[in-house]
Structure 1
Amino acid sequence: MRADIRHVTEYVYKEPAWDSFNEVRLHPEASARQQLKSFHLLVDPEASSVTTHRDYFGSIVHHVHVHERHQVLRIEAQALVTTKPLTVPPPVPLSALDDLRSEVTEFLIASPRVPKGDWPEIFGVARPGPNDDLSAFLTDLTHQFFHQFSYKPGATSVRTTIQEFAKLQQGVCQDFTHAMLGVCRTLGIPARYVSGYLYSGGEMIGADATHAWPEVLIPGAGWVGFDPTNDVLAGEKHIKIGHGRDYPDVSPVRGTFYGGGQGRLDVEVRVYGEQQQ
């Protein structure tokens, strides 16, 4: 699939702000499944400086500094990406992970937004045995979460905990993802948080903002994405920006500034796509 992405983040302040420093993670990754054709970052007012680096997890991060006084700050990311269909992972027993866990401990242990807990029991998930098919378990878990929870923008915030989501039974893709990470890690299944975009074509949920889904390590297949918000594998309609332990590791835009007073944040995401022959 060919995807043309426009992501606009706009801060509007009641009073002038200055020395705005923003950390921007909007650069889609390049991988065997995803090819980045172009990327542009536009800042208004013009940035005093823009620098980049790769973070611990390999994502490209832009550091944007706007020194002059302003009451509106607009950061627009433009990207052109092509993606390939995902191959369905083969059957493999859960025990096949035994020799791999020591290499990916950071995606097994607790993190700030995915603490330790009896998450399988809390969410009513039957624990698989060592000989059970890992791929089938993850597909069933994706299906269960899709039907168990309701997608409802505004029901939660970026600070909502997994415990609160378990009680509410409704939220957004971030909540679905943190919950699935909690279940997987508790069961010894390495899982990481992915931030990206979703081309819906009208039939999928969560395309009007950055999207989130978990990637799980499957022996023989590598890291495979499962989208519990839409009850699908993360395939060619999913455009990945980057991954981390949980949301704070890959939050799209965050920063600090002086002045400004009470402000407002507006975000608009558009992903235009077409299937390739």
Structure 2
Amino acid sequence: MNKPAKAPLRYHVRHDTRYDYDQPVGESRQLLRLAPRELPWQHVRDHRLEIDPEPARRRCFVDGLGNLAEMLNFERDHDALFIRAESWVELRPRTLPALDRTPPWETVRDGLEYRAGRRLDAERLEACAYLFESRHVRVKREFAEYAAQDFPAGTPLLAGVDRLMRRIFAEFTFDPEATDVSTPVTEVFEKRRGVCQDFAHFMLSCLRSLGLPARYVSGYLLTRPPPGKPRLIGADATHAWVSVYCPGHGWVDFDPTNALMPDLEHITLGWGHDFADVSPLRGVILGGGEHEPEIAVTVVPEDEFATLYGTAQLPGLASA
């Protein structure tokens, strides 16, 4: 007897970013990547932005990696900037492959190596772009040596990736004070401490150092408050994990921060070679003085929306 299909789950995501400047900003250009991607298992029912002050110009586009992006131009003096991105996202269960029934990892590596005269299809050509070093990911012998014990000869690719993910989870400590966005991945390896972004960059460094294509995924993770405590607005954060290319299965996600394969609690914003490709917000300003962003993220299941926000209205769903 076939099991009944699981119903899709809906989430509301609110991502607030605020800058308060010491001095007026005369001109500013901001690049946003705050719109979730449309995927086979993820449907974006609604997405909207609230911006203060109103930009002089806005331009939406799809970047070279297929992520949705928006450019904002501000041309008048302003002392603060507030951007709120709100999305309703529907997730369906993913079809996860049997890890032990995937190709041997050496076969995948050898099949993507450059050879004169070899022609690759579009899918494999895309995968080859994620074999190399990038701003936050290094290809080095020490990373390959660390990963080697999880990839003995003949190991099915995804079984090896799963073992590597679980070893990173066991051997590294989550510590928000240990690193910042500029901490090199070599230092993360030495300290064995960091946050989700660091663990993703380290796992990518290990996989690419073995000759395996892997990309950085940016998004959100549903978190749960401590037992007996209410869910709080702004208590969540952005999240990061990795995706590995496996012939016959496409790209398969792994979350080393939590030692699991993402399914119904991971919301995907976009992906790239590393964090620099998918930073939720980055820009340049003229003026401003000293300033630090205040960021508040809230991910809430549909059935908790009214309790959290004090209204039965579910904005965005009626128009989706």
Q: Size of the alignment, in residue pairs?
A: 272
> SS of the counterpart of 1:220?
coil
Paired amino acid for 2:80: V
Structure-1 separation of matches of 2:94 and 2:78: 44
Asked whether the equivalents of residues 7 and 76 of structure 1 are also in contact (C-alpha less than 8 Å), the reply is yes
Alignment of 1:193-212 (within 5 A): 193-202=216-225, 208-212=236-240
2:138 is the counterpart of 1:126: no
- Equivalent position of 1:114 in the other structure: 137
- Larger fraction in strand: 1
- Equivalent position of 1:259 in the other structure: 287
Identify which range, 83-92 or 169-178, moves more after superposition: 83-92
2:192 to 161, 169, 186: 169
> SS of the counterpart of 1:89?
coil
1:124 to 1:94, Cα distance in 2 relative to 1, 3 A: closer
> SS of the counterpart of 1:228?
coil
> SS of the counterpart of 2:129?
helix
- Equivalent position of 2:6 in the other structure: none
2:28 is the counterpart of 1:20: yes
Unaligned runs of 5+ in 2: 1-8, 114-119, 227-234, 304-320
Structure-2 separation of matches of 1:238 and 1:88: 14
- Equivalent position of 1:234 in the other structure: 262
Structure-1 separation of matches of 2:266 and 2:225: 14
State the TM-score, normalized to the length of structure 2: 0.81
Alignment of 1:94-105 (within 5 A): 94-97=105-108, 98-99=110-111, 103=125, 104-105=127-128
Deviation track 1:117-138 (CA, whole Å, cap 9, x = no partner) reads 1244564641524521112111
Q: Which has the larger radius of gyration?
A: 2
> SS of the counterpart of 2:49?
strand
Asked whether the equivalents of residues 56 and 75 of structure 2 are also in contact (C-alpha less than 8 Å), the reply is yes
Identity of aligned residues (%): 36
Note the C-alpha offset of 1:43. 0.6
Structure-2 separation of matches of 1:230 and 1:119: 24
> SS of the counterpart of 1:230?
coil
Asked whether the equivalents of residues 53 and 61 of structure 1 are also in contact (C-alpha less than 8 Å), the reply is yes
